[in-house]
Amino acid sequence: MLSVVAVIPVLLSMAFLGGYRINLTPSEPLGLWRIVPLDRLAAVDDLVFICPPDTAGMREARSRGYLRSGLCRSGVAPLIKTIIAVAGQHVEIGAGVNVDGQVVPASGLALRDGKGRPLSPFPSGVVPRGQVFLHSPFAGSYDSRYFGPIPASGIFGLAREVLTYAP
């Protein structure tokens, strides 16, 4: 029994180093995911693992409980989000999100979080060079609708489902 207990941390370490992660947030299906290296520039529709930057807004999001603690420099866990706009594309935020005039499905905005605290949407604009605009179709997702574009340099790789469950 002791040998089995000793093996578990080794297996978990190997899985972590192999790019396996467990998603416990509803923004994407719950369960086991894998980070697959991205050997090209990030593109629209890529589902990625990304570390958000260490900004005042991200620190506030973490203190409000929108982001889990983790190993990113910002102190949060990597996000799993879909890229919906890249450098040069125009993002318009209204009742929902439009990218270059095209409506993004399931992109409605919440004006308040689950505890009634106000949420401020990103004020629209062109995605700067070297940045990406992220989205999740989950209604309660904290994504670029609120924090705006973030550096593409934070991308670990593509997110691939291994063993997941969508409640």
Q: Mind listing the pLDDT tens digit for each residue in 10-31?
A: 555 555 656 788 888 888 999 9
Over range 52-63, report the average pLDDT: 92
According to the model, what pLDDT value does residue 95 have?
92
The two three-digit tokens of residue 84, written as one number = 């919906």
The two three-digit tokens of residue 33, written as one number = 């995911």
Per cent of the chain over pLDDT 70 is 89
Q: Where are the beta strands (DSSP E) in the chain?
A: 20-23, 30-36, 47-50, 79-86, 90-93, 97-99, 102-103, 125-126, 131-135, 150-151, 155-165
According to the model, what pLDDT value does residue 18 have?
62
According to the model, what pLDDT value does residue 12 have?
53
Residue with tokens 């509803």: 26
pTM (two decimals): 0.89
